[in-house]
Structure 1
Amino acid sequence: MPIAYYITHPQVQVDASIPVPEWGLSDIGRARASAMLDQPWVGSIRRIVSSGERKAIETAEILARHLRLAVEVRERMHENDRSATGFLPPLEFEAVADRFFASPHESIRGWERAVDAQSRIVSEVETALATNDGNDIAFIGHGGVGTLLLLHLAGREISREADQAAGGGNYFAYDIGARRIIHGWLSIDRPSL
């Protein structure tokens, strides 16, 4: 049973002066990504596909070096497009994110609509899986679109109830053949089930 792991980048170095997609991992984020390498589920991964955002690529590169694999970059796996607002202070960001999930057919403050972000991430993952040779695969991406993918796979309506824990650095797994969730969000750096 080939397994897909959707892994979100861990903590980032926040810098309001540069675009969010260009943020890199913080020291804590790098330490958590490195701690992920000790988890038993990592060893079966034979392919790594990453969003083109810097924080995702940095996470993917840590995993790729460990597994001696290349990183495939799919630019359209990016987080929901929030460029209309750019950086938002944490409390304001959380309030807008709540509205993004609660009103998936609306553009909240110019953000990409949740339904469009979901369609995009599902399409990108399915395109990558179409060329998969029965291997376990890791998708390295972001919490918002990762949650939208998880909801799609689970056959659930868009809501924030299935969102990952704050801070990122989580993963879920699913059976590629059956498109069935094996488990929801777990921390990348703690022993799993």
Structure 2
Amino acid sequence: MRSIYFISHPDVVISPLVPITHWPLSERGRARMAAALSQPWVPGISAVYCSTEQKAIDGAQILAEHRGLAPTQVAALGENDRSSTGYLPLAEFETVADAFFAQPGQSVRGWETAAHAQARIVAAVASIAEADTSAGALGIVSHGAVGTLLYCHLTGQPISRRWDQPANGGGNYFTVQWGPQPQALSWWLPIDGVAPAP
């Protein structure tokens, strides 16, 4: 058995003029990721993985450098593919995201389906856990929607936005106990220790 900390990247610089996958962490996001370094589980991390999206890379570098490590990028850890629409204004995005979770087997406006994204993230985490040869816990810096899909899988819950991370700008984590029957030990918790607003 080993521990995996699945971390959603914190706050980003949102720009309609920049591809979503290239959005970096904002100053607040970087500050929150730096605050995460005081979490009691950080000293036990022996390897850091992230998606190939800039916001996840930025977060992973902060965590990895603190541990004297270099993050490993894994494309399959990416967020659900939303390239068909690109940037959407917040209200429109929330509506499409609701449909994404509510209709997991259907593509909403060309987005990757939730069912496909779930299978992808579960397989990616399993592959990392099985291949990693370091001795400690693993830190995976990824994204909120696929993290929620992973959580649903690990807890035996049907895909539902009910289990999505709190609306606090991202920057949340849950702990996975990996073994023959992997399980999530908690729902999303804030990386900086600040409880999200109700």
Length-normalised TM-score, structure 2 = 0.94
Please give the secondary structure, in 2, of the residue aligned with 1:48. strand
> Percent of aligned pairs with the same residue?
47
Q: Which of 179, 185, 189 is residue 188 of structure 2 equivalent to?
A: 185
Kindly provide the CA deviation profile for residues 121-158 of structure 1, in whole angstroms up to 9, marking residues without a partner as x.
11111111111345210111000000000100111110
Q: Tell me how far apart the structure 2 counterparts of residues 191 and 97 of structure 1 sit (CA, whole Å).
A: 25
| 2:141 paired residue number | 140
Q: Tell me how far apart the structure 2 counterparts of residues 107 and 191 of structure 1 sit (CA, whole Å).
A: 35
Q: Tell me how far apart the structure 1 counterparts of residues 176 and 76 of structure 2 sit (CA, whole Å).
A: 21
RMSD between aligned residues: 1.2
Taking the TM superposition and a 5 Å limit, the aligned residue runs for 1:70-89 are: 70-89=70-89
Counterpart amino acid of residue 166 in structure 2:
A
Counterpart amino acid of residue 174 in structure 2:
F
Q: Tell me how far apart the structure 2 counterparts of residues 136 and 57 of structure 1 sit (CA, whole Å).
A: 19
Length-normalised TM-score, structure 1 = 0.96
Please give the secondary structure, in 2, of the residue aligned with 1:93. helix
Counterpart amino acid of residue 176 in structure 2:
Y
Counterpart amino acid of residue 188 in structure 1:
I
Q: Hey, which bits of structure 1, 4+ residues long, moved more than 6 A?
A: none
**Deviation of the 1:38 alpha carbon:** 1.0
For structure 1, the residue ranges without an aligned partner over 5 or more in a row are none
Taking the TM superposition and a 5 Å limit, the aligned residue runs for 1:1-193 are: 1-133=1-133, 134-166=135-167, 167-177=169-179, 178-190=181-193
Query: Contact (CA 8 Å) 1:39, 1:191: kept in 2 or not?
Result: no
Q: Which moved more, 1:99-108 or 1:124-133?
A: 124-133
